[in-house]
Amino acid sequence: MSTDLQYDGPSAWRLHVSVEALAHVACEVAGLVPEGVHAQAVGTQISIWSNRGAGSPRVVEMKDLGVPGDAVTATDIPAEAVLRALDAIQEMVMDHLHQSWPEASGTSGGLHPQAQRDGDQVAFGYVDRSGAGLQLTPFPVPPEPERVVAGSAVVPVAGR
C-alpha cells in the first residue's frame, strides 16, 4: 500500500500556487520585518524567526496555512494564498513584538493585508483604509493546469 499523496491536476495546482505564494510573500516581507526578525516559508508552513536580544535565531511561531479549500475558486486561489500569508506574518510579528506592525508614516490608522488578482499576477501589500501603504512586488501566478477531454481538446481548468 502506497502512502504517497495523489493529486489531480487542479489539486496539484492549488498546492503549487499556495507553496509558491508563501515563498514569494516571505521573500518580499524580508525587507519590512524589524531587525532581528525573519520570515520563512517551507511548503505550506510559514514561520518567523528571531534573534532579538541574545542568542542565535530561533523559531518564534509557525503556522501551517494549508491550501485554500474547494470553496475558493481557482481564479481566487492565488490572492487567497497571498492574503493568508500576509495575515499570518503580520499576526506572528505583532504577537512577538507586542506592538502594531507594520508601521508606515503618513497613514491614517493601522495597516492591514491586502491582495488582489490582476490577470496573471497578484498585487499585494499592507495598506490603510485609503489604500495607501506598503505595496510589494506582485506575485506572478503560475499557469493553471489543463486537462484533456474527449476528442483530445485541451480545456483550462478554471473556476474549479
Only one residue has cell 470553496, namely 71
pTM score, two decimals? 0.81
pLDDT digits (tens, 9 = 90+) for 73-122: 888 999 999 999 999 999 999 999 898 899 765 555 589 999 999 999 99
Euclidean distance between CA atoms 149 and 3, whole angstroms:
29
Give the sheet arrangement for strand 37-42, strand by strand. Answer: 37-42, 45-50, 58-64
Whether 20 shows a pLDDT value over 90: the answer reads yes
pLDDT digits (tens, 9 = 90+) for 110-159: 899 999 999 999 999 999 888 888 999 999 999 876 643 444 444 444 44
pLDDT digits (tens, 9 = 90+) for 39-78: 999 999 999 999 876 677 888 899 999 998 878 888 899 9
pLDDT computed for residue 157 by the predictor:
47
Coil, strand or helix at 154: strand
